[in-house]
Amino acid sequence: MHSELNAQLAFHLTGVRGAAGLEPVEGLALQPALLAPYRDLGALRYDFPLVFTKDAVRPLSELVDEALKDVADERVRARALRREREIRARVSGGLGGRLGSLWDIEPKLADGDLADCDAALPGRFVLNAWNRVQAARAGAFHAEADGLIARLAGILAADHVHSDAGRTAEALARSLAARDDSFDTAALSRLLARALPERRLPAARRNRIRSALAVLKARPSYHFVFENCAAALRALQERRPALIDLAKAMAVARLEAGGEYVEAVHDAVFREFGESAVDPALAPACLVRLDARGLLAPENAGLGDLLASRLPVKILVQHEDILDWSAVANTPAFGARARAVAGMALGLNEVFVLQSSASDLYRLSSRITQAFEYAGAALFNVFCAPYLVAAAAMESRAFPAFSYDPSAPHAARFSLENNPQPERDWPLHPLSYEDAEHQRVSEETPFTLMDFVACDRRYAEYFARIAPGRANGEVPSLPMVDAGNRLHRVIVGDPVAREARRCLDAWHSLQARVQRKTFVEERTVAAPVAAPPPVAEPEKPAPASDAAYIETPRCTTCEECVKINGRVFVYDANKQAHIADIKAGSYRDLVEAAEACQVSIIHPGRPLDPGEPGLEELLQRAAPFL
């Protein structure tokens, strides 16, 4: 037993398969035991193939389920499901095509291009989302620009009508659509010239409108999809002056159309109008599609420049192999390149980052749309491989999914929600098998990076099969199955185990970001902004009982009192009456106003002049209002 352990340890540490009992795995066609149920993908219904319909991207299975929702006929249902299976097999065999040409049976499905989980998918998927977001944005932009053109042209046309040139007999004939000589436009022209002097817009305004109009009419059309950073950078630099001109013309046009351009204020603003004033939503986002293998020094620098530009540049970096080998040391560096790219974007703090395997892109559709709608740069870091490999990369944390949305509140920016069991180190799944005594055994088994690496034959030398029941806690091992579904135990070499530990550590770092999020939430909850104490309305000192006063806040502006004496009773800024100058009228005015007041809020008090005629009668009339 001791020698077995030593042999296993020796293999683990050195890769030397010296002793008996350690068999190479090459040729055994082993695969991780947890993947055994998925060996024949064609028989399973899952997210692929995807159908790129006119309006959305949907899994074929979802379209079929929707169409069969109200179909009760079992034969129709069976035929549809059979056809779905045939199409899935065809697409996974590398044949795409249009769904419409393959689905000639009832019920009818929306037509669209079929796509499998392959190297072409991320580019296609992201381009599709870009097209949809840009179509909506471009539609809104062009509608606004066209509306502004119409408004500005209308202002110039009105100006022309008021000019001498616009009032010639010929111009009037055109504007009246005169068809014969029943209308004497020459006489009308003479009449207008005599009656109305020429009223033109100020020349500065006319020129401003004309130049804004010219820029809006000549808005250029550009190509926005690039296959490398250098081309994108070059295009962005070349287009910058035109973009600034367009943004300026839009801003001027909005103000002019609304009659809100104030030369004293806005002339100075537009003289200094620069890039910082450009609304990032104005220009369509550039889409750059990159292959991670091409990210050599100059391109890598370009990627950094683009991400840091704060411009709406959306970059797809596609990784077709994440089991990299270090370029410097002769050791594995699994996922390092992908982590470096994502880390650079995350470090910039203002970049929308979305990382996922191609297998899960469909489930992240809404996040992808958000990334395109985000005003700044976005990075899509995508691992593409055949479906099972891509899904296993996510399952094993080799390529975890996450998103970082800088436009969200701090506590909601980072998300790991699309990963399987994100709260655990490794996802756990039940593994059931029959043991040597033909008894059913079920145990929770983690799916780790080592399982993912074990799928890749390039790394077979780091795995060795051991005899059943010979596994021990000292050397990491995996359950694997062969083509006959027999369970084997395979021990793992240290380079792979070490990579698993690094992978787990990276995963913990991602989890820590979520925990930081919780911390931010707690801090926000713990320290609420203290509500200002309610400000008590200051009690106004009660007027002396012999002074006249008005309960101004209750005044209904009925005009009665101001009509009686507009110097005594005056409206305030809220058009409510108050006594402005009591000496400007008599006690009679006060009493009559109190009687006329519709809401009885005038209190005449005691008379100032004891010699006023008829005072006795007035005091009696005033009594109800004191």
Partner 1 sequence: MNECLLRLHDERFELEDYQSGVPRWCSGCGDNAILAAVQKLCRDESLHPEKTVFVSGIGCSSRFPHYMKTYGFHGIHGRALPIAEGVRMARPDLHVFVNTGDGDCCSIGAAHWVHAVRYNMDLTVLLHDNEIYGLTKKQASPTSPRGTRSNTTPRGAHLEALNPLTVTLGIQNVSFVAQAVDWIPEVLYQIVKAAFHHKGFSFVRILQRCPEWLPELFEPYVKDPRKTLLLKHKDGLQLSEAIARTYSNNREHDPASLAAAREMATQVDPIPVGILYRNEAVPCYEDLRRTTKVRTADLIRSGLEAEFDKFTVWPCTRN
**Nearest by Cα to 568 from 526, 597, 536:** 597
Amino acid code (one letter) for 121 = L
154 binds partner 1 (CB under 8 A): yes
Smallest gap from residue 263 Cβ to partner 1 (A): 10
153 binds partner 1 (CB under 8 A): yes
411 binds partner 1 (CB under 8 A): no
143 binds partner 1 (CB under 8 A): yes
Smaller CB separation from partner 1, 146 or 546 = 146
Stretch that binds partner 1, among 126-134, 201-209, 274-282, 356-364 (CB under 8 A): 274-282
Stretch that binds partner 1, among 300-308, 412-420, 429-437, 595-603 (CB under 8 A): 595-603
Smallest gap from residue 202 Cβ to partner 1 (A): 17
Beta bridge partners of 537: none
Tokens (6 digits) for 14: 């050195």
Amino acid code (one letter) for 528 = P
Smaller CB separation from partner 1, 553 or 611 = 553
Residue 533: count other Cβ atoms within 10 Å of its Cβ: 6
Q: Find the angle CA(594)-CA(596)-CA(601) to the nearest 5 degrees.
A: 45
Q: How far apart are CA 299 and CA 233, in angstroms?
A: 11
277 binds partner 1 (CB under 8 A): yes
Smaller CB separation from partner 1, 47 or 560 = 560
165 binds partner 1 (CB under 8 A): no
Stretch that binds partner 1, among 99-107, 271-279, 285-293, 308-316 (CB under 8 A): 271-279
**Nearest by Cα to 312 from 347, 338, 279, 348:** 279
> Concatenated DSSP letters for 370-387?
HHHHSSS-EEEEEE---H
> Concatenated DSSP letters for 44-65?
S--S-SEEE-SS-EEEHHHHHH
Q: Where are the alpha helices (DSSP H) in 218-320?
A: 229-257, 263-271, 297-308
265 binds partner 1 (CB under 8 A): yes
Tokens (6 digits) for 182: 């029943």
Among 110, 149, 301, 344, binds partner 1 (CB under 8 A): 149
Q: How far apart are CA 36 and CA 487, in angstroms?
A: 10
Smaller CB separation from partner 1, 150 or 412 = 150
623 binds partner 1 (CB under 8 A): no
Smallest gap from residue 146 Cβ to partner 1 (A): 4
Q: How many residues bind partner 1 (CB under 8 A)?
A: 45
Smallest gap from residue 123 Cβ to partner 1 (A): 32
Q: How far apart are CA 201 and CA 162, in angstroms?
A: 9
Smaller CB separation from partner 1, 276 or 349 = 276
Smallest gap from residue 547 Cβ to partner 1 (A): 20
Among 150, 218, 467, 626, binds partner 1 (CB under 8 A): 150
Smallest gap from residue 546 Cβ to partner 1 (A): 24
Question: Checking DSSP bridges between strand 378-383 and strand 352-357, what pairing results, if any?
Answer: parallel
Smaller CB separation from partner 1, 481 or 593 = 593
Residues 219-258 interacting with partner 1 (rule: CB under 8 A): 247, 250-251, 254-255, 258
Smaller CB separation from partner 1, 394 or 597 = 597
Among 27, 93, 259, 541, binds partner 1 (CB under 8 A): 259
Among 14, 485, 545, 600, binds partner 1 (CB under 8 A): 600
Tokens (6 digits) for 505: 């550590």
Among 73, 170, 260, 612, binds partner 1 (CB under 8 A): 260
- Site pattern 550..589 for partner 1 (x: CB under 8 A): ---xxxxxxxx--x---------xxxx-------------
Smallest gap from residue 46 Cβ to partner 1 (A): 38
SS3 400: coil
114 binds partner 1 (CB under 8 A): no
- Please classify residue 397 by burial: count the beta carbons closer than 10 Å to its beta carbon, then call 0-12 exposed, 13-18 middle and 19+ buried: buried
Yes or no: say if 61 and 45 are a contact pair by the CB < 8 Å rule. yes
Smallest gap from residue 447 Cβ to partner 1 (A): 46
Smaller CB separation from partner 1, 346 or 564 = 564
**Nearest by Cα to 125 from 477, 479, 323, 372:** 372
Beta bridge partners of 356: 382
Q: Find the angle CA(55)-CA(60)-CA(64) to the nearest 5 degrees.
A: 100
Amino acid code (one letter) for 142 = H
Tokens (6 digits) for 457: 């034959």
Residues in CB range of 361: below 8 A, 6 or more apart: 121, 122, 125, 368, 382
Smaller CB separation from partner 1, 138 or 262 = 262
Q: How far apart are CA 60 and CA 66, in angstroms?
A: 10
- Site pattern 459..498 for partner 1 (x: CB under 8 A): ----------------------------------------
Smallest gap from residue 242 Cβ to partner 1 (A): 17
| Contacts by residues 504-511 (CB-CB < 8 Å, ≥ 24 positions apart) | 504/397, 504/425, 504/426, 504/449, 506/335, 506/339, 506/397, 507/397, 507/400, 507/425, 508/425, 510/400, 510/402, 510/416, 511/416, 511/422, 511/423
Smaller CB separation from partner 1, 191 or 623 = 623
Smaller CB separation from partner 1, 197 or 532 = 532
Among 262, 412, 547, 626, binds partner 1 (CB under 8 A): 262
Residues 11-40 interacting with partner 1 (rule: CB under 8 A): none
- What share of residues in the chain are helix, strand, coil (percent, to 5)? 50, 15, 40
**Nearest by Cα to 322 from 488, 506, 494, 465:** 506
Residue whose tokens read 């287009």: 239
Residue 27: C-alpha distances to residues 30, 54, 231, 483, 487 (Å) = 8, 46, 46, 11, 15
Return residues touching partner 1 (CB under 8 A). Answer: 143, 146-147, 149-150, 153-154, 157, 180, 182, 247, 250-251, 254-255, 258-262, 265-266, 269, 277-279, 536-537, 553-560, 563, 573-576, 596, 598-600
